[in-house]
Amino acid sequence: MSYRTYGFILNSNVLFNISNRKLILYQEEGSALPFSIKIVSLNDTQSRLLSFLLHNRSDDIIDKDTIMKNVWDDFSLSSSSQRLWQSINDLRKKLSAVGVEEDIIINVHGSGYRIDESKVLLLHIS
């Protein structure tokens, strides 16, 4: 049986749906409503960036050049360290909007980034 990645669960209550480029927060407990949902949309680049980082979360450091190649260059887009930094910051803000701590993406000064693996669960579909 063949599996493909559907998305990821972040912080146990946020779904990153790769194909729809959405972050979906679902809450059941501690809410005034019995069930509440908050949805944040990602653009193509933000979605590719988050997906690439999460797929490579087991790496100690995800090198900046590797990220730029896989997120920008391979899609005939212009990459730069500044563009990567800005995209990471924008992505952190969107993650924060659905309750994911910004430190899920960890900056390794001068080298690249890491993902806090303890906050990530991979979802497959067959």
Cβ–Cβ under 8 Å, residues 8 and 98: no
- Tokens 């080298």 belong to 111
Model pLDDT, residue 32 = 64
3-47: pLDDT as tens digits: 888 999 999 899 999 999 999 998 876 656 677 789 999 999 999
* 47: phi then psi, degrees, rounded to nearest 5: -65, -45
Domain boundary assignment for the chain = 4-125
Cβ–Cβ under 8 Å, residues 125 and 2: no
Model's pTM, two decimal places?
0.91
Model pLDDT, residue 31 = 59
Instruction: Report, at the CATH architecture level, how domain 4-125 is classified.
Output: Orthogonal Bundle (1.10)
66-122: pLDDT as tens digits: 999 999 999 999 999 999 999 999 999 999 999 999 899 999 998 999 999 999 999
Contacts for 43 with CB less than 8 Å, ≥ 6 apart: 21
